[in-house]
Structure 1
Amino acid sequence: LDAVSLFPDDEQDAVAGAIAEALTTGQSTIEAEFRTAAGKRVPHEFTADRLTDQDGNLIGLVGTGRDISERTRRERELQDQKEQLEQFAATVSHDLRNPLTVIQGRLALLQAEQSNEHLAVIETATDRMERIVEDLLWLAREQQEIGSLEPVSIDTAAEAAWKLVSDPADEAELYCDCGADTQPLVKADTDQFRHLLENLFRNTIDHGGRDVTVVVGEIFGDATGFYIEDDGPGIPAEDREKVFEAGYSTSESGTGLGLNIVKRVADAHGWDICATESSMGGTRFEITGLELVE
């Protein structure tokens, strides 16, 4: 029985090529649809190995196959979800961001002409809308895809993220307590790591206030990592796991997505993150499982 004939016509050339490869190199693997006795096409992964006698002479081939229908189904579902997310991201970017830009532009013109408490409220609301749009776009486009891992200084990355998030006019302060002699380097996707820090800092300002004090420091011992803690109101013990859920927020200015993004970035790197009480009575986020660069 010719093994190639067990496959549908459109798969036979590829299967014949895999057999030839196994005869030449000793082994080959191929994914192809196998035709059952009932004529049904079922996706399989096949591995072929060359058989030889004790003198090295070719005897034949032995092949094994496994049904990959479930994996193929999941891959199709993931591809469909990816396409839906890409469409969602395009809709958010165009249908929400464009009119928001118009609102912000007209608002700036009004603020230049007059001072009004209602305009300040509108500005706060539009700023929050912009953050929601940015977070939604990140969740739709980035997901958990991590790029190349590079050495990143925790201190330097934290200070850069803080400058982007904090307002110089406010009294909020950041202190880095990672050691004066050497700045610890960790392996991370630099863009994703920056996004993680920005969202953690926004969370501290949203909940701790414009005069919050934030400290970044190292964690030593069995669990290597770093922490970010503040002197804000803290998080009740019963809510410390909920804060990472999408949509959860106790702040009027929060989007309910920031800490979920933080959790996704940490998970994608293989890190652990938890919320607990800080030494200052506020909130402390601990990120552990990082790989240090020697």
Structure 2
Amino acid sequence: MGDCEKRSVLLVAGNGVDAEAARATFAESSVSATVLTTLTDLFDRLTTEVYHCLVLPEHVDGQAGVDIARGVTKLFPDLPVVLVGVDPTTVPDEIGATALDVTTVRDPSVEAAVRAALDSAAPSVAGREPSPMETLLLSLFNEMPDHLYAKDEAARHVMMGRGFNQPTDRIGLTDLEVGELVDEHSKAAYRDEMAVLDGETDRIEVEEFLGLSAEYVLTKKVPWYDADDNIRGLVGLTQDITTRKTRERDLRRQHERMVKVALLAAHKFRNELQIAHGRLELLDCDAEELDHIEASLARISAVVDTVVSLSTQETEIVDQEPVWLSRLSREVWDTLAESQAQLRIESDARLVADQESAGLLMQFLFQNALEHVGPSVTVTVGATPDGFFIADDGPGVDVEPPERVFDAGYTTVEGNTGFGLYIARTIAENHGWEIELSEVADGGIRFDIVNVELHE
């Protein structure tokens, strides 16, 4: 191989590939060798510089070299990859890498494998200068503050941006293999992705509460098409929407205060109207005058009904779509709870519901727990086979029959309107759901919302 044919090899240091040993291996050869001690810039180097072979260790930065090779070969399918310190029988055939079960890069078999790779045809992408489109896409992945990523036909990460994670810390893995994700969420994400990859849908969009550095996120996923218009994988974008959710929480709090004022006023007006009607029946005066008074009271009653209707108009079902129980619960809870109160998510599922009205249902059930148990209450939310439940750790229900708590105007708390649980049941009925009330063995009450459609 003459100087005019000089080729470049990129070596990543790690288990089996010592940085200094790697440099020494090719220092006096006709090969131009570059050594990376971290994976962070791996895809940047492969995209913007010319390389004809990649050497990977068994492990680097806590990741398996085989997984990294899987991601690299999806984007650079013609680039020869040599794995050092890896049993060849553990490398899937579709990766197409040369695996050498040796302990050091200084082993002669490593240089022989690299030279054999360099004697083959130059890789079509990594072996040439990048196009403007390639550098544009790399900049998009690197500079976007959001989490941008691509996955292959088996939903394994192929490339990641720098928005939320290191650009290589999930390469070659599916969401099912990412430990920091909640089990229910990773399984649901994988099902969604397979629906995209199988052509069942051309777009996934879902909001989640993760409780990580980005508490609330919005994820969108679309197919990745090849030159023949076949689905090769998918592209995803996950955005941190915590700030937006905080604004929505403040607006929900304001709305809650307005609803409570309107319902309390309506409750008091109705009490006064009942007193007025009772007094009116005792009056002994001209029938025509009584008719005028009754008509006036009827108009006031109609105004009260309108106030109640306008205050609770969110109970109308607008658009039902999948929503995570945990995300909606946390979102509503943050608008109501004091610092001492606690929300515990026992299990999670995706409900098919109108988010605004379902959130209002939760709002009244949470408010009921806070008002009847107190600011130190613990409320537990969880999924069931046919819906979800909301339970508290209070003293339980002291009324017979217990279902009276759903009656309009019924309350045991002074100043309360008595409309909260009535409205919650109305919302449930509008969805085609039912609310079942039961007492918890250790104290407290539990509301089971049943007949709920769950999104698989």
TM-score, normalised relative to structure 2: 0.33
Aligned partners of 1:212, 1:257: CA distance in 2, in Å?
Answer: 21
Does residue 204 (structure 1) correspond to residue 373 (structure 2)? The answer is no
Q: Secondary structure at the match of 1:285?
A: strand
Q: Which has the higher helix share?
A: 1
Task: Go from structure 1 to structure 2 and tell me whether the alpha carbon gap of 1:203 and 1:185 turns closer, same or farther (over 3 Å shift).
Answer: same
Q: Secondary structure at the match of 2:454?
A: coil
Q: CA deviation at 1:154?
A: 0.7
User: Does the 8 A contact of 1:227 with 1:286 survive in 2?
Assistant: yes
From 139, 146, 165, the counterpart of 2:309 = 139
> What letter matches 2:264 in structure 1?
I
Task: Go from structure 1 to structure 2 and tell me whether the alpha carbon gap of 1:143 and 1:186 turns closer, same or farther (over 3 Å shift).
Answer: closer
Q: Could you say which structure has the larger radius of gyration?
A: 2
Does residue 158 (structure 1) correspond to residue 323 (structure 2)? The answer is no
Aligned partners of 1:161, 1:273: CA distance in 2, in Å?
Answer: 19
Q: CA deviation at 1:200?
A: 0.4
Q: Secondary structure at the match of 1:167?
A: coil
* Per-residue CA distance 1:74-120 (angstroms, 9 max, x = gap): xxxxxxxxxxxxxxxxxxxxxxxxxxxxxxxxxxxxxxxxxxxxxxx
User: Which aligned pairs between 1:205-224 and structure 2 lie closer than 5 A?
Assistant: 205-220=370-385, 224=386
TM-score, normalised relative to structure 1: 0.50
2:431 corresponding residue in structure 1: 269
From 378, 389, 407, the counterpart of 1:227 = 389
Q: CA deviation at 1:279?
A: 3.7
> What letter matches 1:151 in structure 2?
P
Aligned partners of 2:315, 2:343: CA distance in 1, in Å?
Answer: 28
User: Which aligned pairs between 1:63-78 and structure 2 lie closer than 5 A?
Assistant: none
2:407 corresponding residue in structure 1: 245
* Per-residue CA distance 1:227-271 (angstroms, 9 max, x = gap): 111111211362421111110011124220000110000000000
User: Does the 8 A contact of 2:262 with 2:308 survive in 1?
Assistant: no
Aligned partners of 2:265, 2:320: CA distance in 1, in Å?
Answer: 27
User: Does the 8 A contact of 1:230 with 1:280 survive in 2?
Assistant: no
* Per-residue CA distance 1:208-235 (angstroms, 9 max, x = gap): 1111111011222xxx011111111211
Unmatched segments (≥5 aa) in structure 2: 1-256, 268-304
Aligned partners of 1:161, 1:134: CA distance in 2, in Å?
Answer: 24
Aligned partners of 2:334, 2:419: CA distance in 1, in Å?
Answer: 21
User: Does the 8 A contact of 1:206 with 1:253 survive in 2?
Assistant: no
1:72 corresponding residue in structure 2: none
User: Does the 8 A contact of 1:139 with 1:261 survive in 2?
Assistant: no
Q: CA deviation at 1:132?
A: 3.0
Aligned partners of 1:287, 1:247: CA distance in 2, in Å?
Answer: 22
User: Does the 8 A contact of 1:203 with 1:254 survive in 2?
Assistant: no
Aligned partners of 1:278, 1:207: CA distance in 2, in Å?
Answer: 15
Aligned partners of 1:286, 1:130: CA distance in 2, in Å?
Answer: 28
1:177 corresponding residue in structure 2: 346
1:148 corresponding residue in structure 2: 319
User: Which aligned pairs between 1:1-294 and structure 2 lie closer than 5 A?
Assistant: 129=261, 132=264, 137=307, 139-140=309-310, 142=313, 145-168=316-339, 171-178=340-347, 183-220=348-385, 224-236=386-398, 238-294=400-456
Aligned partners of 1:151, 1:167: CA distance in 2, in Å?
Answer: 29
Task: Go from structure 1 to structure 2 and tell me whether the alpha carbon gap of 1:251 and 1:287 turns closer, same or farther (over 3 Å shift).
Answer: same
Aligned partners of 2:358, 2:258: CA distance in 1, in Å?
Answer: 26
When the two structures are aligned, how many residues end up with a matched partner?
Answer: 161
